[in-house]
């Protein structure tokens, strides 16, 4: 089970690095989509993308 978890994380990290080129304002190449202060601030200022998990509280209550 642990091996599958590691493989899933490696895959997800690769996807985040790929998205970083299209959306550099979110810092995905370094935070891998986790809620760093910079990432949360970018969401607050720019709103979430289609790639953000909209079921989470992203600080954009009016959008949901």
Q: Which of 51, 58, 43, 53 is nearest to 19 (CA)?
A: 51
- What pLDDT does 62 receive? 43
Per-residue pLDDT of the chain (64 residues; tens, 9 = 90+): 789 899 998 998 898 889 999 999 999 888 876 778 888 899 889 988 888 877 766 565 544 4
Measured over the CA atoms of residue 27, residue 32, residue 35 and residue 36, the dihedral's sign is negative
pTM as predicted: 0.67
Q: Given this model, what pLDDT does residue 57 score? A: 65
What are the sequence ranges of the domains in the chain?
2-47
Residue 63, classed as helix, strand or coil, is helix
């Amino acid at each position: 089970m642990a091996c599958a978890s590691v493989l899933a994380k490696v895959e997800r990290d690769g996807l985040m690095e790929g998205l970083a080129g299209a959306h550099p304002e979110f810092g995905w190449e370094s935070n891998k989509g986790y809620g760093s202060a910079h990432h949360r601030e970018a969401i607050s200022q720019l709103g979430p993308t289609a790639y953000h998990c909209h079921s989470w509280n992203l600080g954009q209550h009016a959008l949901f």
